[in-house]
Structure 1
Amino acid sequence: MNQCVFVLVAAFFLIGVSGQGPVNQKCLGCICEAISGCNATQICAGDVCGPFRITWPYWSDGGKPTLNGEAKDSPTAYKNCATDIYCSALAVQGYMEKFQKDCNGDAKIDCDDYAAIHTLGGYGCQGNLPHIYNERYQQCKKLVS
């Protein structure tokens, strides 16, 4: 675990991402840290892009946010958004708004649920998280709480 998550949380706070959906800054930071180490340098690999490692369908379900007024149907809109930390965080917020639910059965919807939804999908979040993802997420959660 590095300082990246703390920088990311501060950046989200400064640009107001948390006010744009159900996921708070700390949670966004931990999801990003768990999924990619918040690696913004690895643009795309296969069908996933950006620091949140989102797919085109995820971006679409998240409301297709775009950068600088780019048209949602532009051939570059998904990649440009997914590889931008702010825009991809907005996609995560939109996705969570659409699919938010209590995945772990504890009668509340919180970051644990959002972390599961992010990696397992909106319809399969009751499953087990991948080991490395869960380990990084839990470590981050301890550090930021």
Structure 2
Amino acid sequence: MSRRFIYHFSGFTFVLLVILGDSSFLRLREASCDTIPGEPCYLPFDDENMIEQCWLCICKASSSCNTNSGCTKPYFGAYSCGLLSISWLYWVDAGGPRLDKDKDLPSEIAFENCVKEKFCAVQTVCLYVTKFRADCDGNTGFTCEDVIRIHIMGGYACNDKNVIKDQRYKAYTTCMKSNLFKLI
């Protein structure tokens, strides 16, 4: 089963094709945009071969890929929901994407519905990462390492060295180092 999202953000048009395999893991096959007409760029990674492993590891680090993940308040003022553990402010910074059925609902309900639904959650992360795209680890490229740092630390603090203390980051690095699956 696959879905294609076409959305507009700050003058760019992005095409996001999300494929769900037999397992419940997220697989992002294509994420591209036209920044200059006729000259595509591929987001969010420089290395397209790492797309599947990256999304899988972000999913595992965020919620152990639990498709029934609800909402939690890990600390005062925080409120995160769904498979990718997306906060309210993260969702708002990403432009507040909504499911078609939620266009007329209050933002609080639209937020929870979106981030609990796989496709909308992936779209939210892609929009957020696109908005805050940065070389967080200083390797001069844009890789999965940058995406997870932006996802965990936020768009303005992705180069914070404290990320290595975060349990989600530790789960992500363990997953990325594992050879439990091969990329096709």
TM score, norm. by length of structure 2:
0.65
1:75-86 equivalences under 5 Å are 75=107, 76-86=109-119
Asked whether the 8 Å contact 1:59–1:91 carries over to 2, the reply is: yes
* Percent of matched pairs sharing the same residue: 31
Number of residue pairs the alignment of both structures matches = 137
Task: Specify which structure has the higher proportion of helix.
Answer: 1
Q: Kindly report structure 1 stretches of 4+ aligned residues shifted beyond 6 Å.
A: none
For 2:175, which of 129, 140, 145 is the aligned residue?
140
Deviation, structure 1 residue 139: 2.2
User: Unaligned 5+ residue runs, structure 2?
Assistant: 1-20, 34-41, 45-50, 74-78
Classify the secondary structure of the residue corresponding to 1:122.
Answer: coil
- Alpha-carbon distance in 2 for matches of 1:53, 1:31: 10
Match of 2:25 in 1: 8
Asked if 1:32 corresponds to 2:53, the answer is no
Q: Which of the two has higher C-alpha Rg?
A: 2
Q: State the shift of 1:72 in Å.
A: 7.1
Give the aligned CA root-mean-square deviation in angstroms: 2.5
Which piece of structure 1 moves more, 51-60 or 126-135?
126-135
Structure (1/2) with the larger strand percentage:
2
Q: Which runs of 5+ in 1 are unaligned?
A: none
Q: Secondary structure at the match of 2:58?
A: helix
2:146 to 97, 101, 113: 113
Match of 2:43 among 22, 30, 41: 22
**Structure showing greater relative contact order (alpha-carbon pairs closer than 8 Å, 6 or more residues apart):** 1
Cα deviation for residue 69 of structure 1 reads: 4.3
- With the length of structure 1 as denominator, give the TM-score of the two structures: 0.81
